[in-house]
Each structure stands twice: as structure tokens, then as C-alpha cells.
């Protein structure tokens, strides 16, 4: 059995991927199909009704038109991409010819399990079946498969044809070759794959959910309106997020400063939950304060905070100029 599993993983790892099946032609499915086609892959886009297929065609043309007008793609490249996408309601034929399957059906665990089991029966055993689920366990989705080694989550973020991020989430039985092959394919089409453990919500939605809950809390307290909160995010820390994430940002301002702010909020609000997380306090007690000491959550050789801020400021200036 172990030998057969190793042989299958070898076949998955060496699979020549040319034909992509995208199952589901809602907004995400359309954008994912566009992305693969722009990268030169043949795409069979599948849905359950001719009406949805027609809607998908209109969305594809509109998205590519905007990308052309924005200078993101050349017109001839967009035309070639459209020609590489074939839409159909014939699922079995699309699956039989697929080298890689991207499932993008609604977030319903029973529906996803049924689709994966259908793929498992029709696709060759070395064809990877990837789910775009934003929260569900691929270990659960793939339970009824004969070949769960080739099941994996590839969670794209909206808008899928523009956003670089794809979270790659292997399940309990996912083969390492499946993970590596999926990461490689996503890199080839210009995405930024990030590995995540199979946990509800993954990384993206846990962080996004925490921000949403904090925003709702501010509204409950009457601190600010929806528009004021959104404006703070878009015109404040949202500007620097493309360049520096929340953890490295703490390194840059100094973890000791982060602890001091947390202590102040905990005292003035009479709420100990505002105290900085244990991991941050441990770093401070060890003298690892971030860029200024050469070590925080990241290592910094020849640390120079001014150089870090100069780079980020340059990125923010580009963003601001693009808005003009």
C-alpha cells in the first residue's frame, strides 16, 4: 500500500499540466478561469446552466476589457486568453480531459464533497483536485475519495484575477507532491501561494474576521460610523499593508512601544485583554525589540529603521500617485 502511495505521489509530481477544469462559473470561477487562460493554459469552465455560462462570458469580456484599459494586459494576450476558455455544462467530459481541477462551487460542505467524489471517479488518479473553499477543511471534503492524496485547498481571494494571494492548505492525507505541484503551478501563473495548516478560516479570513469584529465593536460603542471606520482603514494603515504586514510593522516601531501602548489601553479601559500578547512581551523581556536591536519576530542584518521606512514610504507614494 505504501509503495502504491509513493508511486501515485511520483506521478502527481511529474504530471504535465496543460488542461485546467474550473468547476463553477460564479464571480470567483470566472476570475480563476481568466487567470489560467492569461498564463497560457487551456481552460474548460463548467457550470450547471447555459444561462450561467452566458453570464460568465459577459463577465470575462468585461474583466479583460478593464485589464486592457488599465495596462495590465495587452489586447492580443486578452484575445488569446478568451480563445483558451471553453465553457460547458458537460461535467464528465471536462473532468476526463483535465490535468488539474479547480473546484469553485458554493460554500456547502455536502455539495463540495459530492463534487470531489465525482472528480475522484472520473479524473485520472494523478490529477490534483483543488478546492477554493474559504473556510472548510479539505480533510473533511475529501473523506469519501479513493485518492485523497490528490485533494488540496487552493483558496483564492477576491478579485481572483487581480489578487496575488492563494492560500494552499493540505489535508491530513494530502501527499507532499500534491502540495508542491500546486504551489509550483500557482507560481507559474503569477500568484503568491502561502501555505497554511488545515484549520477553519485559514489565515486570511481569521485576520479579516478579527478586523470586521473590531469594526462592529466600534459601531456598537458609538465611537464611529461605518464610513468613518472604512475611511480610517483605507486612508490609514491600509496604505502600508501592501508593503509591511502587522507583525513586521511591530518590529519596525519597536516591540517595547507596542507593549507600552497595550498596557496603557488595558489600564485606561480597565480591560486586561488589551495587554500585548504573550509572544510580544516575551520578545521584549529577551531584549529583542525589532529593527532597532536587529531582532524581533524577524532577523535584521545591519538594521536601519530609516531605510525600512524609506522603502515603505516609497511604496505608499506610488499608491497615492496612482489614485490621482
User: Cα 219 to chain center, whole Å?
Assistant: 28
Say whether pLDDT at 175 is over 60: yes
Say whether pLDDT at 123 is over 70: yes
Identify the residue whose cell numbers are 489578487.
163
The 3 state secondary structure assigned to 176-229 is HHHHHHHHHHHHHCCCEEEECCCCCCCCHHHHHHHHHHHHHHHHHCCCCCHHHH
- How much is the pLDDT for 1? 55
Which tens digit of pLDDT belongs to each residue from 194-223? Answer: 999 999 999 999 999 999 999 999 999 999
Q: Could you tell me the pTM of the whole model? A: 0.91
Identify the residue whose cell numbers are 483558451.
84
Q: How confident is the model at residue 2 (pLDDT cuts 50, 70, 90)?
A: low
- How much is the pLDDT for 307? 78
Residue 179 sits at φ, ψ, to 5 deg, of: -60, -50
Task: Find the mean pLDDT for residues 262-270.
Answer: 93
Which tens digit of pLDDT belongs to each residue from 6-38? Answer: 888 899 999 999 999 999 999 999 999 999 999
Residues whose CB falls within 8 Å of the CB of residue 286, separated by 6 or more in sequence, listed in order: none
Q: How confident is the model at residue 301 (pLDDT cuts 50, 70, 90)?
A: confident
Which tens digit of pLDDT belongs to each residue from 127-168? Answer: 999 999 999 999 999 999 999 999 999 999 999 999 999 999
**For the chain, percent of residues with pLDDT exceeding 70:** 99
Which tens digit of pLDDT belongs to each residue from 54-93? Answer: 999 999 999 999 999 999 999 999 999 999 999 999 999 9
Task: Find the mean pLDDT for residues 114-137.
Answer: 97
Amino acid at each position: 500500500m505504501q509503495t502504491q502511495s509513493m508511486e501515485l505521489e511520483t506521478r502527481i509530481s511529474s504530471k504535465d499540466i496543460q488542461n485546467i477544469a474550473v468547476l463553477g462559473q460564479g464571480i470567483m470561477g470566472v476570475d480563476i478561469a481568466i487567470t489560467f487562460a492569461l498564463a497560457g493554459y487551456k481552460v474548460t469552465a463548467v457550470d450547471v446552466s447555459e444561462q450561467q455560462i452566458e453570464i460568465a462570458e459577459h463577465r470575462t469580456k468585461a474583466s479583460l476589457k478593464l485589464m486592457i484599459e488599465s495596462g495590465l494586459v495587452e489586447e492580443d494576450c486578452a484575445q488569446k486568453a478568451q480563445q483558451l476558455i471553453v465553457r460547458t455544462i458537460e461535467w464528465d467530459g471536462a473532468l476526463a480531459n483535465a490535468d488539474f481541477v479547480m473546484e469553485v462551487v458554493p460554500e456547502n460542505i455536502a455539495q463540495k464533497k459530492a463534487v470531489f467524489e465525482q472528480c475522484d471517479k472520473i479524473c485520472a488518479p494523478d490529477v490534483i483536485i483543488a478546492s477554493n473553499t474559504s473556510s472548510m477543511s479539505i480533510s473533511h471534503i475529501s473523506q469519501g475519495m479513493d485518492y485523497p492524496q490528490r485533494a488540496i485547498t487552493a483558496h483564492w481571494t477576491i478579485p481572483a484575477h487581480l489578487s496575488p494571494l492563494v492560500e494552499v492548505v493540505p489535508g491530513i492525507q494530502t501527499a507532499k507532491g500534491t502540495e508542491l505541484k500546486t504551489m509550483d503551478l500557482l507560481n507559474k501563473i503569477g500568484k503568491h501561494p502561502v501555505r497554511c495548516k488545515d484549520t477553519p478560516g485559514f489565515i486570511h479570513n481569521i485576520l479579516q474576521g478579527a478586523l470586521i469584529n473590531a469594526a462592529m465593536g466600534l459601531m456598537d460603542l458609538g465611537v464611529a460610523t461605518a464610513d468613518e471606520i472604512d475611511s480610517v482603514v483605507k486612508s490609514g494603515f491600509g496604505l502600508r499593508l501592501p508593503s509591511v504586514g502587522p507583525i513586521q510593522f511591530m518590529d519596525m516601531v519597536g516591540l517595547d512601544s507596542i507593549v507600552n501602548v497595550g498596557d496603557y489601553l488595558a489600564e485606561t479601559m480597565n480591560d486586561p485583554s488589551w495587554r500585548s500578547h504573550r509572544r510580544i512581551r516575551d520578545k521584549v523581556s529577551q531584549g529583542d525589540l525589532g529593527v532597532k536591536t536587529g531582532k524581533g519576530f524577524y532577523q535584521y542584518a545591519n538594521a536601519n529603521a530609516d531605510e525600512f521606512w524609506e522603502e515603505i514610504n516609497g511604496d505608499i507614494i506610488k499608491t497615492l500617485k496612482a489614485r490621482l
